[in-house]
Structures are given as C-alpha cells and as structure tokens.
Amino acid sequence: MSSAAAPEINKQTKETVAALGEKYKYGFVTDIEMTRAPKGLSEDTVRYISAAKNEPDWMLEWRLAAYRRWVQMKEPDWARVHYPRIDYQNAYYYAAPKNTPLKKSLDEVDPKLLETYNKLGIPLNEQMALAGVAVDAVFDSVSVATTFTDKLNEAGVIFCPISEAIRDYPDMVRKYLGTVVPVSDNFFATLNSAVFSDGTFVYVPKGVRCPMELSTYFRINASETGQFERTLIVAEEGSYVSYLEGCTAPKRDENQLHAAVVELVALEAAEIKYSTVQNWYPGDENGLGGIYNFVTKRGDCRGDRSKISWTQVETGSAITWKYPSCILRGDDSVGEFYSIAIANHYQQADTGTKMIHLGKNTRSRIISKGISAGRAQNTYRGLVSVHARAENARNFTQCDSLLMGGQCGAHTVPYIESRNSSARIEHEATTSKIAEDQLFYCQARGLGAEEAVALIVNGFCKEVLQQLPMEFAVEAQKLVGISLEGSVG
Amino acid sequence: MLEIKNLHVSIGGKEILKGLNLSITAGQVHAIMGPNGSGKSTLSYVLAGRAGYDITQGSITYNGEDLGALPPEARAAKGVFLAMQYPVEIPGVTTMMFLKSALNAQRRARGESELDAIGVLKTVRRKAAALNVSEEMLKRALNVGFSGGEKKRLEILQMSLFEPKLAILDETDSGLDIDALKLVAEGVNALRDPARAMLVITHYQRLLDYIVPDRIHVLAGGRIVAEGGKELALELEAKGYDQIVKDAA
C-alpha cells in the first residue's frame, strides 16, 4: 500500500469505528467476492479443500483418515458450557477471497483486504518495520499476507502460512504435524485435522533467537463459515521465539465455529513463548450470536531444559473451550500458563491447562484470573499430572476469580494426579468481588464507574498482563476495559 | 461555597442526619466534632456522593449547584475532595498509576488536556517530597500494605495533587501517632488558601491544636447542636460531649 493512501484509510477507520458506535469495535463485514466449498461436510469437502490448496497426496490422505475417524466420534459434553446442537452439515468449511495469488507480495493483495486489516489496527505495510512485528494475516480460510518473510529468512527462521509450508517444506511439516496433538486426540481436533484451512508455520533453527515478535492475525469474515486454523511451531535446540495471535470476527446473529489446533515443539533448551489475545465476537447483550471457540493447543517440551509459556487473554467468543497444555517430557523442562478469561453478558468460558510432568525436575506454573460479569459462567479447569518417572516435579497453581454482580458464576475444577512421592504441588484459589468501597474510592477521585472497573480489573490481572510482549500489553489492557463495558449498573 | 439546608439522610431506611444546616465560604476551615454515631461519616459520604446514602429532605448546594444530583466522579471534577478515614486497597494498581488515572479523569471531565506520564510524575514527586511520601511508596499497589500513617499521608498527597475547592477530611487523625499527626497537619495547613474551603471532621480536639479552624460545629443525633469559634474545642475537651449536648438542649 502506498503511504498516500494511509491518511484516507485512517479517516475511514475512524468513521467506521464511530459509525459502529457500539461496544464490539471489530464487528464490520468486508464486502469481497469469495470462493467457497459447497455447504456441508463430506469426503468431497475434504478433497475440495486439499485441492484448493494444491496439497500433495500424503496431506490429502492424512485429512481423509482424520475425517473417517471424526464421523465415528462423539462431541464432548463434559465442559460447563451449554449450546444448541451444532449442525455440522449446515456450514461452509472453506471460504477464500477470489483472486488470492498463491505467492504474493503486498502489492498483489486485494486493497480491500489491506483496508480490512488497517481498520482492525493491523497494518501490513512494510513501513510497519518500526513496530518490529512480523505478521501473517489469515482471512477466513487463507493467509492473505505475510510480512518480513525475507528478513526472517536471513536469520534462518521460516515464518509462512502452513499451506505454503506443506508445499515448500513437506519433510519438516510431516515430521512434526500431529505429533503433539494426534489426529485422534479429541472431536474438535480431529475435525480440524480433516478440514484445517490455514494458519502459521514457524521453524526456528538451532541456536537462533528469532529477531522479531511473530504474530498471526485471524479474521473470520464470511458468514456461515467455520474457521479451522492450524499452527505448528518448531524451535530447534537452544532457540527462542515469541509468537502472538489475535482474533476478531464480524457481528452476526448466527453462531460460527472456530476449531483450531496449535502444536508447539521445543527441543533441547529451546524456549517458545506463545501469547493469545482472543477477541472473537462474543454475541450481543442477550446472548445472540458469537463465535464458538473450541480449540486444542498443546506444547511438547521434547528436549531437556526446554520451556513453553502460554499467555492468553480471552475476552471474546460466546463459548470458549480451550486448555493450552504442556507436556514436560524433557528433564528440567518448564511449562507456564498465564490466563485472563473475561466473560460478560451470556458468555461461557471453560478454560484452563494441563501440565503433564514426565521428566525429572520438571516445573510448571499456572496463574489463572477469571472475571465474570452479567450472566456469564466462567470455569477454570486444570490438570496437573505427575508421572512415576518425574522425580522432583514441582507445580504451583493460583486461580483467582473476580465476580461482578450477583447473576454470574465462577467455578474452579482442579484435577491433581501424582504417581511420584517426591512431587510438590501447590494450589491456591481465591474468589472475590469488586468491593463497593473500591469503586466508590475510585469514583470519589474522579474516575467514572466503567473506568474504575477497568482499573481494578487490570490490577487484578496484572501478573498475567505483564507476561505479554510489550507491543501488545497496552492493547490488552484496553481490551479488558472494553469487554466489561455495561457490567456496572 | 457550600450551603447545606435542613439535610435529612437515610441509610437503608434508617434516618441518620435529621435536619442538618451548615454554611461554609471559601477560605474558611470549619470543624465538625461529635461523638461516635452522631452522623459525622454519613455527612462526609453524602457530600462525596456514596451510593446508599439517600437524601430524603433538604439540599446541598455547592457553588450554586445541586450537589446531590451529581455522581461522585463529577463532584471530584468540580473540586470536591474527601480524604477518607479508611483509604481502600486496590491490589495490582500502583499508586502512581492510580494518581495519573484519577488526575487525568478529572482534567478530561473539565475539558482540560491530559497530562503525560512525565508531567504527572514531576508534579507528584514535587508534592510527595513535602509529605514524606517516598518514591518506593508510589511504586507499590495503592494502599496495599501501607501503614496507617502512610495511608493518611497519601490521602493528603492526593488533596495536594487535585487542588480541590472543597476539601473534607474525615477523621484524618484516627490511627496516627503524634509525629504522623503533625506531618499530616502541616500538609493540610500548607493547602489553606483563600479560594479553598475545608471541612475537618474529627472526634478529638487533638487534631484542632494543629489545624486551627475558623468555626466549630458540634454534631449530635444527626443535627448541629452547638457552634462556636476555636475555643469551643477546648470547652468540649473539658466538659465532654454529653454535657455540651445537654447544655444545648
């Protein structure tokens, strides 16, 4: 995009946001011609997707095997979330803007798409080098732009859409895909394995510290369409990478499905920091519409002394069902999970983590902050499992819940299994309300009620917000405030 | 500046203030003294606009405006400040962050430009030094783990920072030893100003040795029962509340 266009787009952005004039600021729809797979899900759908992406045969076979397994599986019902039965035949599984070139420079990308990301505050133009963040932009089922690939290549880092990686680096993808989250893992992961569309592939070679923050921005635009992102990050021995994903979707009365799978592999002494700011459309004040966010995220600390750290800020979606987990396989490996889950109005969140201690001296740390308002239900569900071989495993878990008003719910469901007597597992949990005297104190010093709530909640979440890369921490703080608008009467 | 007429206030249906009258002009310092349960804290909260304190009769007029109709944050922006008896803890929010947010919220409400972080920091540092509020205190979470003296000093620091027109000090002396009391009183005296009115609410005469008021009002049973100059405090100290209330009856 030329720099001359920028002021015009900024003006449009402001106008659009002002016109929306509502609480969810990303609810607009981009009017762009789309190619879609026929409605419904069958082997033909899987073949369609694979063909649309020019995939090799092995990938198609992998997908088909997943599909055949999926049709025999049952949707899980153990989470504390309620929703009408999903009709999997009444949705589209693939939607892509027409005329998306396969290998694209930004000049070739449809200006409408660039404009969309601009409105979302995700500038893709190369001038954003200043921000020092490389972006992969996924629009419905395809990646539309990836920035800084060249600069990253110089460092030996591969950062590209996974559809591209399947074609260009098939050996690498085959070696790792499905090794952390097996095809048969769970209903939604298996579905994803059959129909995944796009997502990001990251490979950081031995000893390399990735020179910039990597980020993928997921946007659902098309109606009646599910998004099935697939992300795979491999960090070789002694390498480091920090990755962030962001998500938004238009406001619609229908519910849309987002079923992602993310796999992380950290080899010896490697470190992966994975942050999520999830702001899918949460539905309206009466619980109409919103995204069903059913996600499987898992990291494998495969090498000794490796470390995987998950940080998530979950403010969107009608339903969130996700448990970013760590398999602490290598000796002395470390897993961390920092989470903020905000549920307002009729949102339902059932989220937490699993820390599976397999290696010796493995350590894990879980800090979960749940905020419930309106009529929302917010559940922390977590497993700490210490296996027999895991000498001296350590876990610390802290789950804090904050309630606003008398009609919401907070639930903590910790599962602890230990097969090694040397394990030390600590669990702390608190539930509190925003006290009337705290609100009054802030108001008496000039803060409006909503500003006061945002301040208090940000204070409550501070330990987690501090874990986010600096570039995103400020945005996340604002988001915390916006998500709770309308929660004080 | 402040005109309270026949003020009746109930909490949860129970009447606490029963026809209170009070008038303060700019530049004056008034003291409200009274026994426990006389309605002193109710008066301070109703002036600041706390929810649940219902004005059932009478009026509070502040610079010609009906104060009772405004939410607390609007009162703050218009220059009403309450130094609280029990300052509240807010975990995870640094004191500096809180001061900046509050100051800028007030400025926004008045249509003034916001101050940047450096501007606020400079102003706060200058004012903090005079009150012996350390840099370290400003970095800690608001009032969390503060001693009684630290909390009260921070209240006075906020008063100094926000430069209110009407400052209400609710039992600022409670929980302070004599050195801390002197420090706080000095801070308050430094803020005496011809354009500023102060209402000092206290149970004990002690504070008034250091903050000498222009007028003293004795509050008992939800009404002002006696009024006088600063010498009234000494009389109260000698006779006790019971006698003064009886004399007035």
Among B46, B93, B155, most A C-beta atoms within 10 A, so best to mutate, is: B93
Angle CA A180–A224–A123, to nearest 5: 70
Q: Tokens standing for B51?
A: 């929810």
Q: Which two tokens stand for residue A31?
A: 């009017």
Give the closest-approach CA distance of A457 to chain B in angstroms.
Answer: 9
Checking if the pLDDT of B153 tops 90, the result is yes
Highest average pLDDT, of A116-130, A335-349, A395-409, B12-26, comes from: B12-26
Pinpoint the alpha helices (H) of A313-429. Answer: none
Looking at the DSSP bridge assignments, the partners of residue B129 are none
Cα distance from A186 to chain B (closest Cα, Å)?
Answer: 38
| Cβ contact A458–B93 (<8 Å) | yes
- DSSP symbols for B3-25: EEEEEEEEETTEEEEEEEEEEE-
User: A53 — phi, psi (to 5°)?
Assistant: -100, 10
From CA B50, how far away is CA A200, in angstroms rounded?
52
**Chain segment A279-302, per-residue pLDDT in tens:** 878 888 888 888 889 999 999 999
CA atoms within 13 Å, Cβ hemisphere of A188: 24
Q: Strands, E, within A116-254: which ranges?
A: 133-139, 142-146, 158-161, 200-204, 213-219, 230-235, 240-248
Task: Tell me if A441 and B75 make a contact (CB, 8 A cut-off).
Answer: no
Which is nearest to A170 in space by CA: A160, A182, A180?
A160
Mind listing the pLDDT tens digit for each residue in A315-324?
A: 888 889 999 9
Query: Does the beta carbon of B18 lie under 8 angstroms from any beta carbon of chain A?
Result: no
- Cβ atoms of A231 and A265 within 8 Å: the answer is no
* CA pair distance A263, A230, nearest whole angstrom: 8
**Alpha carbon distances (Å) from B143 to A424, B94, B125, B137, B138:** 34, 9, 17, 9, 10
CA angle A136, A352, A245 (to 5 degrees): 10
Q: Residue A358: is its pLDDT beyond 70?
A: yes
Quick one: CA dihedral A187, A193, A196, A199, positive or negative? positive
With bands split at pLDDT 50, 70 and 90, how would you rate the model's confidence at A24? low
Q: How far away is chain A from the Cα of B93, in angstroms, using its nearest Cα?
A: 5
Q: Which of B51, B73, B141 sits opposite A448 (nearest CB)?
A: B73
**Nearest CA distance, B81 vs chain A (angstrom):** 7
Interface test with B, best of A437, A442, A453, A462 (most B CBs within 10 A): A442
Q: Is any Cβ of chain B less than 8 angstroms from the Cβ of A318? A: no
pLDDT at B209 over 60: yes
Asked if residue A339 lies in contact with residue A303, where contact means CB atoms within 8 angstroms, the answer is: no
Gap between the Cα atoms of B235 and B59, Å rounded: 31
Burial A70-86 (b: 16+ CB within 10 A, else e): beeeeeeeebebeeeee
- Report the alpha-carbon distance of residue A379 to residue A390 in Å, rounded: 28
Strand B223-228 vs strand B215-220: parallel, antiparallel, or unpaired? antiparallel
Q: Which region among A183-187, A243-247, A340-344, B29-33 has the lowest average model confidence (pLDDT)? A: A243-247
Cβ contact (<8 Å) for B90 and A451?
no
The one-letter amino acid at A76: P
Q: Which of A273, A266, A201, A274 is nearest to A237 (CA)?
A: A266
| pLDDT tens digits along A207-249 | 999 988 888 887 777 777 778 999 999 999 999 999 988 877 6
Confidence band for A121, pLDDT divided at 50, 70 and 90: low
Q: Which of B82, B89, B98 sits opposite A444 (nearest CB)?
A: B82
CB-based contacts of A417, cutoff 8 Å, min separation 6: A383, A384, A385, A386
pLDDT, tens digit (0-9, with 9 covering 90-100), for A91-107 = 888 888 776 554 455 66
How many Cα neighbours within 13 Å face the side chain of A258? 33
CB contact under 8 Å between A441 and B84, yes or no, is yes
Helix (H), strand (E) at residue A372: strand A363-372
Token readout for A47 is: 């073949």
| A182 vs B175, more confident | A182
Distance from CA of B246 to the nearest CA of A (A): 36
* Averaged confidence pLDDT in chain A: 85
Q: How far is CA A295 from CA A300, B216, B218, in A?
A: 17, 67, 66
Closest CA to B131 of B184, B181, B94: B184
Q: How many whole angstroms separate alpha carbon B17 and alpha carbon B35?
A: 14
Q: A6 pLDDT exceeds 50?
A: no
Nearest CA-CA distance, residue A471 and chain B, Å: 18
Q: What is the mean pLDDT of chain B?
A: 94
Q: Which amino acid is at B196?
A: R
Question: What is the mean pLDDT of the segment spanning A335-343?
Answer: 94
Closest partner residue to B105 (CB to CB) among A436, A448, A460 is A448
Domains of chain B, with CATH numbers?
A: 2-248 (3.40.50.300)
Q: What is the mean pLDDT of residues B72-84?
A: 97
Structure pTM?
A: 0.84
pLDDT in tens, B57-67: 999 999 999 99
Q: A22 pLDDT exceeds 60?
A: no
Please determine, for residue B137, whether its predicted confidence score (pLDDT) is greater than 80.
yes
Check whether B83 has a pLDDT greater than 90.
Answer: yes
B-chain residues near A440 (CB < 8 A): 48, 50-51, 72, 88
Contact across the interface for B93 and A455, Cβ inside 8 Å: yes
Q: Is B145 left (phi over 0), alpha (psi -120 to 50) or beta?
A: left
- Looking at residue A208, what is its pLDDT? 96
**Residue A36: its H or E element:** strand A34-36
Where b means 16+ CB within 10 Å and e means fewer, A247-286 reads bbbbbbeebbbbbbbbbbbbbbbbbbbbbbbbbbbbbbee
**Concatenated DSSP letters of A417-463:** EE--TT-EEEEEEEEEE--HHHHHHHHHTT--HHHHHHHHHHHHTHH
- pLDDT for the residue A15: 46
Three-state DSSP state, B84: coil
Rounded mean pLDDT, A452-468? 90
Chain B residue closest in CA terms to A453: B90
Q: Which B residues in the span 202-231 are in contact with A, Cβ-Cβ below 8 Å? A: none
* Interchain proximity A444–B75, CB inside 8 Å: yes
What does the block give as tokens for A14?
A: 């402001």
Q: Which of A433, A438, A445 to mutate to test the interface with B (most CBs of B within 10 A)?
A: A445
Å between B20 CA and nearest CA of chain A: 22
Whether B73 has its CB under 8 Å from any CB of chain A: the answer is yes
Question: Would you call B91 an interface residue with chain A, using a CB distance cutoff of 8 Å?
Answer: yes
Instruction: Note the pLDDT tens digit of each residue in B157-189.
Output: 999 999 999 999 999 998 888 988 998 999 999
| Tokens standing for residue A381 | 């569900």
Whether A130 shows a pLDDT value over 70: the answer reads no
B120 interface with A at CB cutoff 8 Å? no
